[in-house]
Amino acid sequence: MNNIAVMYHYIRGQNGWSGIIPLSPQDFSHQIDTLSRTYDIISLDQMYKPRSRPWCILTFDDGTKDQYTNAFEILKRKGVPAYFTVMSGPLVLGIIPVMHLVHTVLSFVTDEEIWELIRSKHDTTGIEEASTIYSYELNRLRRYNKYMLNVKLTTQESIEILGSMFDSLFPNRSEFIDNFYLTEGEIKQMHSEGMTIGVHCHKHEPYCGDPQQFYDREIKPCRDYLMKVLGGEPEWYTPAFGGGVNHVLMKEQLTSILLAKGFKGAFTTTSKEVPKKPGFWIDRIDCSTLMRVNIR
pTM for the full predicted model: 0.94
Q: Which residues pair with 274 in a beta bridge?
A: 3
> Can you give the residue ranges of every domain in the chain?
4-27+52-61+76-93+182-243+254-294, 98-174
Question: Within 10 A of 271 (CB to CB), how many other CB atoms are there?
Answer: 11
* Whole-number Å distance between alpha carbons of 80 and 75: 5
* Whole-number Å distance between alpha carbons of 48 and 45: 7
In order along its 296 residues, the chain shows pLDDT tens digits of 899 999 999 999 999 999 999 999 999 999 999 999 999 999 999 998 999 999 999 999 999 999 999 999 999 999 999 999 999 999 999 999 999 999 999 999 999 999 999 999 999 999 999 999 898 899 999 999 999 999 899 999 999 999 999 999 999 999 999 999 999 999 999 999 999 999 999 999 999 999 999 999 999 999 999 999 999 999 999 999 999 889 999 999 999 999 999 999 999 999 999 998 899 999 999 998 875 544 44
Largest CA distance in the chain: 59
CATH of the domain spanning 4-27+52-61+76-93+182-243+254-294: 3.20.20.370
* Whole-number Å distance between alpha carbons of 270 and 79: 28
